[in-house]
Amino acid sequence: MKLDYKEIGKRIAKRRRQLGLKQAEVEEQADIGFKYLSNIERGISIPSTEVIMRLAAALDTTPDEFLVGTAHHHGELWKSVSDQLRPLNNRQLNLISEFIVWVNHNIS
């Protein structure tokens, strides 16, 4: 399964607008660089798994809303999982990301 980063960017922008937030506000909450969110939303930049996780936390949703278009607002459960992922290195995060894609692909 190949990820469509333009579609992911559109989903992130849609969620941000639903919450009435400006890009700068989300960038600050997600601790990402100035104008980086704009590039992600337009499909110019490819966000890392860590950035997807931070954006999901900042936008009170789960990464699957951005990755596959299904939202699950689990509040504390999501935050707990997010906190467990933060200390992982890039190799570990890539493995988790691939697993998430596999799970989402095989749910049907």
We report the CATH number of the domain holding residue 72 as 1.10.260.40
Structure tokens at 62: 């789960």
Q: How many domains does the chain have?
A: 1
**Distance in angstroms (rounded) separating the CA atoms of residues 9 and 85:** 22
| Cα first-last separation, the chain | 14
Structure tokens at 71: 């939202």
How confident is the model over 10-64, as pLDDT tens digits? 999 999 999 999 999 999 999 999 999 999 999 999 999 899 999 998 998 888 8
Question: Which is more confident, 102 or 70?
Answer: 102
Domain that holds residue 47: 5-106
pLDDT of residue 75: 62
pLDDT of residue 94: 87
- Locate all alpha helices (DSSP H) within the chain, ordered by sequence: 5-18, 23-30, 36-41, 49-58, 63-67, 76-85, 90-106
